[in-house]
Structure 1
Amino acid sequence: MSGIRGTGVRAALFTVPLVLGLLGAAAAPAGAAGSHTPRPGASLTCRGKGVDPDALVRHRAEIVINAPLRTVWKLQTDVERWPSWQAPVETVERLDHGPFRKGSAFRWTTPVPPNPSTPATSLEITSTVRQIEPNSCIRWTGPAIGEGLRIDGVHVWNFTEVKGGVRVSTEETHTGAQVEADVPTATRILREGLESWLRDLKSAAEGRSHNQTH
């Protein structure tokens, strides 16, 4: 799953998923500069696998980052350093060792503010990489668990070199009784989380790229 960030449940469990969405990073208004929601179309995939086709809560977003692909990929896959550029991520622990690969797992935490359905809590997300293609795509899944809250998420990331940098596209789905009880709100939170994650990734990658060239 993505995660629950900022003022919402950042569920990017797989993003830092609803969790990024729900857990989202300091959420900003939809359509903020630098990111946008693509038109509806085929779901993103990694090595032929995508998000949950039956999930009621889902969102897809993308952004263009003016930095080398290797820089963007390194930031995204060096999960233990996420807290250094994503303030909503409090802790991250790799559950395996060595290169980030299929089967790699990591546990991370993010705070969740109180909402009509659940009290304020800390969300613990355990994400497992199911598919990966170096410098191209990642798909991870896993539960996000907090007091009175459980979200099961699937998160797909695509990285494509384009003129001027890298287009990062992400799509995530969430399932669970709490989020399905209010799909519009859960979807909004997921959207805010994913767009916040993309903005943070862009800022970190472009900042690192600038520093390396000066």
Structure 2
Amino acid sequence: MKILYAGPPIERLHEEYAKKGRLDENAPVKSSTSIVIDAPAEKVWKLLADMNGWPEWRSDAYVVELGEMKPDATFRWNIRGSAIRSTFAVVEPERELTWTGVAMGYIKAIDRMRLDATENGRTRVTIEESMSGPLLTLFYSSAKLREGHEDMLRMLKTAAEGRRIADARPR
């Protein structure tokens, strides 16, 4: 039953899934979405990798504790009021940033962000995530996760393209 699905232990998710570019396909909450940003991967990466600077362009998240950004290093952050303990799985500058995380002590997630250079110096950013935990689907859904990803990608696009937040609002 998906409502009770707890998923693999976080250690297994980290080593056998996240580090190998995989999500938990059995997770009840999943999302994958992309956006093309009119900026080179180097500029987009700088925004993503400067996690302490997220509040300058990202209104939904901030980092509480961050050490070195490398595989197996841990960090703590907060997104929309939820405290998360995370561990980097893949850190490939200008290509991929992936981590695993635990929220509320039992919700486990794999977050994967990939950057792909496109024509004319643009960058396609793809966010993929899987989340599992008993009873998770009673208060969270794939649609809500996707909405959060789409909001974050719009904020990233606005910052990378050098526009003001007011310029990025839908009309």
Task: Check whether TM > 0.5.
Answer: yes
Q: Distance in 2 between matches of 1:79 and 1:85?
A: 11
* Matched residue count: 146
Q: Distance in 2 between matches of 1:94 and 1:67?
A: 29
Q: Which consecutive aligned stretches of 4+ in structure 1 deviate over 4 angstroms post-superposition?
A: none
Q: 2:41 aligns with which of 49, 59, 69?
A: 69
Gaps of 5+ in 2: 1-16, 164-171
Gaps of 5+ in 1: 1-44, 112-121, 209-214
Q: Distance in 2 between matches of 1:123 and 1:137?
A: 24
Q: 2:84 aligns with which of 125, 150, 171?
A: 125
Q: Distance in 2 between matches of 1:130 and 1:67?
A: 25
Matched, 1:104 2:37: no
Partner of 2:6: none
In the TM superposition, residue 64 of structure 1 has moved relative to its aligned partner by 0.3
Q: Distance in 2 between matches of 1:143 and 1:133?
A: 22
Q: Distance in 1 between matches of 2:145 and 2:116?
A: 23
- Change in Cα spacing, 1:81 to 1:189, as seen in structure 2 (3 Å) is same
TM-score normalised by L of structure 1: 0.62
Partner of 2:162: 207
Q: Distance in 1 between matches of 2:72 and 2:89?
A: 6
What's the secondary structure of 1:199's corresponding residue? helix
Partner of 1:52: 24
Identity among equivalent pairs (%): 34
In the TM superposition, residue 93 of structure 1 has moved relative to its aligned partner by 2.7
* Contact 1:46/1:132 (<8 A) preserved: no
Q: Distance in 2 between matches of 1:83 and 1:126?
A: 18
Q: CA RMSD in A?
A: 2.1
